[in-house]
Amino acid sequence: MKKIIITSLLLVSMFSNAQNFQGVAVYESKTSTAEMMKNFGGNREITPEMQKNIEERMKRMFEKTFILNFDKTASIYKEEEKLDAPGQQGGGRIMSSMMGGGGTQYKNVKEKTYVVDKEFFSKEFLIKDTLTTYKWQMSGETKMIGNYTCFKATAVVKTDATDFRNFRMSGNKEEEKKKKDSIASSKKTNFMSDDIEQIKEKTITAWYCPEIPINQGPDKYWGLPGLILEVNDGTTVLLCSKIILNSKDKVEIKASSKGKEVSQQEYDEIVKKKIEEMKEMYGGQGRGSRGGFH
Q: For residue range 209-227, what is the model confidence (pLDDT) as tens digits?
A: 999 999 999 999 999 999 9
What would the mean pLDDT of 72-83 be, rounded to a whole number? 88
Determine, yes or no, domain membership for 271: no
Q: What confidence score (pLDDT) does residue 46 get?
A: 64
pLDDT at 278 over 80: no
Q: What percent of the chain has pLDDT over 90?
A: 41
DSSP 148-198: EEEEEEEEEEEPPTT-GGGEEE---HHHHHHHHHHHHHHT---SS-TTEEE
Give yes or no for residue 98 having a pLDDT over 80: no
Can you list the pairs that 63-66 forms with residues at least 24 positions away whose Cβ atoms lie under 8 Å?
Answer: 63/28, 63/29, 63/30, 63/31, 64/28, 64/29, 64/101, 65/26, 65/27, 65/28, 65/29, 66/26, 66/27, 66/28, 66/29, 66/218, 66/219, 66/238
Residue 51 lies in a domain: yes
How many domains, in total, are found in the chain?
Answer: 1
pLDDT at 84: 57
Indicate the pLDDT class of residue 291, thresholds 50, 70 and 90: low
CATH of the domain at 112: 2.50.20
- pLDDT, residue 234, reads 85
Lowest mean pLDDT among 29-38, 127-136, 186-195, 272-281: 186-195
pTM assigned to the model = 0.74
Q: Which of 125, 154, 150, 117 shows the shortest CA–CA distance to 138?
A: 154
Is residue 282 over pLDDT 80?
A: no
- Using the 8-state DSSP alphabet, how is residue 131 labeled? P
Q: Is the pLDDT of residue 102 over 60?
A: yes
CA proximity to 77, closest of 88, 64, 90? 64
Tell whether 269 is covered by a domain.
Answer: no
Q: Are 157 and 204 in contact (CB under 8 A)?
A: yes
The answer, yes or no, to whether residue 63 has pLDDT greater than 50, is yes
pLDDT of residue 277: 82
Beta strands in 217-259 (DSSP E): 227-232, 236-245
* Domain assignment present for 152: yes
- In DSSP terms, 23 is beta-bridged to 70, 245
Q: Indicate the Cα dihedral angle 142, 144, 147, 148, nearest 10°.
A: -30
Range 55-69 average pLDDT:
79
Among 31-45, 84-98, 200-214, where is mean pLDDT lowest?
84-98
147 confidence band (pLDDT: 50, 70, 90): very high
Residue 189 φ then ψ, to 5°: -125, 130
- The answer to whether the Cα torsion of 176, 179, 183, 184 is positive or negative is positive
pLDDT of residue 4: 40
**Residue 205 in this model has a pLDDT that exceeds 70:** yes
- Model confidence at 24, pLDDT cuts 50, 70, 90, reads very high
Q: Please give the average per-residue pLDDT across 225-238, as a whole number.
A: 94
- DSSP H/E element including 16: helix 2-17
* Residue 238 pLDDT class (50, 70, 90 cuts): very high
Question: Which structural domain range is residue 144 located in?
Answer: 20-159+200-262
Is 5 contained in some domain? no
pLDDT of residue 79: 92
Of 4-13, 147-156, 162-171, the range with the lowest mean pLDDT is 4-13
Tell me the average pLDDT of the chain: 76
* Domain annotation covers residue 64: yes
DSSP three-state, residue 54: helix
Beta bridge partners of 261: 126
pLDDT at 161: 59
User: Which pLDDT does position 248 carry in this prediction?
Assistant: 82
Are 180 and 194 spatial neighbours (Cβ–Cβ below 8 Å)? yes
Q: Mean pLDDT, to the nearest integer, of 86-99?
A: 51
Nearest Cα to 217, choosing from 206, 203, 227, 232?
227
Structural domain includes residue 117: yes
In a domain? residue 284: no
